[in-house]
Amino acid sequence: MGVPIILASASPRRKELLERLGFTVKVIPPGVDEARIDNENPENYVKRLARAKVLAVVERLSQTLYTDVETGVRRTAPGGARTQDTRWVIGADTVVVLGDQILGKPKDTAEAAEMLHRLSSSSHRVISGFCIHDLRKNKEGVQAVQTEVRFKRLTATEIEKYIAVGESMDKAGAYAVQGVGAYLVDSITGSYTNVVGLPLCQTVEMMEEMGAHDILPY
């Protein structure tokens, strides 16, 4: 097994995308505050969150907790949470933008239905920010990628049946383009994998630029 990329995301879709390319992936959920700053535009929002997720995991990788046997106090020890070969950490965040409004994950089925009604017969943007951190050099790159998605006209019955499938509740915009939700999409302009959650072309290009040649699967 190769040296793993550390994925600072709990998204199974991002993990699957990287593994399809042949990468070995270890997931460490970052647990960061995802609240949006007032007047923050979508591109800056996803880039900031992607970087925050990565840095939260980088901090966890640089230290581990242990109990001092004499005092019983929990202390941190540097370098204990990663192997010597661990080098690359990737994080990402994806939003759906309709007009100037960000559509996040719906809080319930009623909100999911409202989102899908709004997306029906219209175009929206899917914007993913991603960050790659080089632990060896302590440097990172951050980028945002945008894809335009147009939905077919959806009937109320179609929306009701799609929500019943169960894909909506943990997805920005209440749909999954890689699942049953593919039939909702009339056209895509730009990166398909960006809509899934991680623009693979741009991610690999950045890895090449940052010198990750030793773990690229080709």
pLDDT per position as a tens digit, 23-54 = 999 999 998 888 888 889 999 999 999 999 99
The confidence score (pLDDT) of residue 83 equals 54
Asked if residue 218 is part of any domain, the answer here is no
Here the CATH number for the domain that contains residue 105 is 3.90.950.10
Asked if residue 56 is part of any domain, the answer here is yes
* Residue 93 annotated in active site: yes
Total tally of structural domains belonging to the chain: 1
Q: What is the DSSP letter of 82?
A: S
β-strands 74-78, 63-67 pairing: antiparallel
The confidence score (pLDDT) of residue 134 equals 95
Asked if residue 200 is part of any domain, the answer here is yes
What's the domain range around 49? Answer: 5-210
Which of 93, 170, 186, 214 is catalytic? The answer is 93
Structure tokens at 26: 């270890």
Asked if residue 170 is part of any domain, the answer here is yes
Structure tokens at 195: 């809509």
Asked if residue 75 is part of any domain, the answer here is yes
Query: Residue written as tokens 């006209």?
Result: 153
Span 120-175, pLDDT tens digits:
999 999 999 999 999 999 999 999 999 999 999 999 999 999 999 999 998 999 99
Distance CA 144, CA 47 (A): 6
9 neighbors 29 (Cβ within 8 angstroms): yes
Distance CA 109, CA 163 (A): 7
Query: Residue written as tokens 């499938």?
Result: 165
Distance CA 7, CA 23 (A): 11
Distance CA 197, CA 172 (A): 10
Asked if residue 216 is part of any domain, the answer here is no
Asked if residue 166 is part of any domain, the answer here is yes
Asked if residue 29 is part of any domain, the answer here is yes
Which distant-in-sequence residues (6+ apart) come within 8 Å of 103 by Cβ? 95, 96, 97, 115, 118, 119, 124, 172, 173, 174
Distance CA 186, CA 153 (A): 9
Distance CA 201, CA 190 (A): 11
Q: Does residue 82 surpass a pLDDT of 60?
A: no
